[in-house]
Each structure stands twice: as structure tokens, then as C-alpha cells.
Structure 1
């Protein structure tokens, strides 16, 4: 799936409100986009809905915990 739409509605986690090392998530048709808050003009990564769903599930279940 190709996601060529420009992301809208960028937001970052409320848990990182005072942090500078964060990412923001934006909406695109059929998925989500992620960008670095320190380099907003540097581009973004996109994921389709299924990829985003599995990524969020992995975070919530602690798969990336150290």
C-alpha cells in the first residue's frame, strides 16, 4: 500500500509534554505517520493500518521494553 497523502493532526504523547526526545504521530488515509519532534522538516515514516495496529500492540505488551 502506498500512502502519498500528507499527514495531518500531528500529536505527541501527553506523557512526553516536557520532553524534547519525542516522536509525533499524524494521520494519513489508511494508516499513520511518525516524525521526530526535533526535526519536523526531516520527513516521516508511514505505516498502513495493520502495521500500525501491530506496532501499538507490541508497545502495549512490552515487546520493546529493555
Structure 2
């Protein structure tokens, strides 16, 4: 396997709230009831050897722990 050239850097996290009553979020959850507020974080990755930026957003449901247990 060839080593990857350059340096990968992740920005600091940015935290946010998502309205769980949003109709698009309800559809994405297969019509299941979503909590009123979901929490999320976003960050971006830059790679010194490439001129692209990757934006990553993650949303965490308060019910995630119960589902994963």
C-alpha cells in the first residue's frame, strides 16, 4: 500500500440543533416520530495535497443510545 502524501486537517467542531419536526427529517426516519430537537456537529477536512474540501455533518438523535443498546 502506498503512503498518502500530504497532511489531512480537520477543523474544530461546530455544534448545532436540528428541528425534529421538520417534514424532510420525518420522511428520512421512515415516518417514525422524531424528537423535537436533535443535536449535531459539523466540521471540514482539508488535505494539503489536494484542492478539495470535505464537509461532514452528523446529526445525533437523543434516542440513539436506546437503539444501539
Q: Same fold (TM over 0.5)?
A: no
Relative to the length of structure 1, the TM-score reads 0.29
Relative to the length of structure 2, the TM-score reads 0.28
When Rg is computed on C-alpha atoms for both structures, the one with the higher figure is 2
Structure with the higher fraction of residues in strand conformation:
2
Structure with the higher fraction of residues in helix conformation:
1
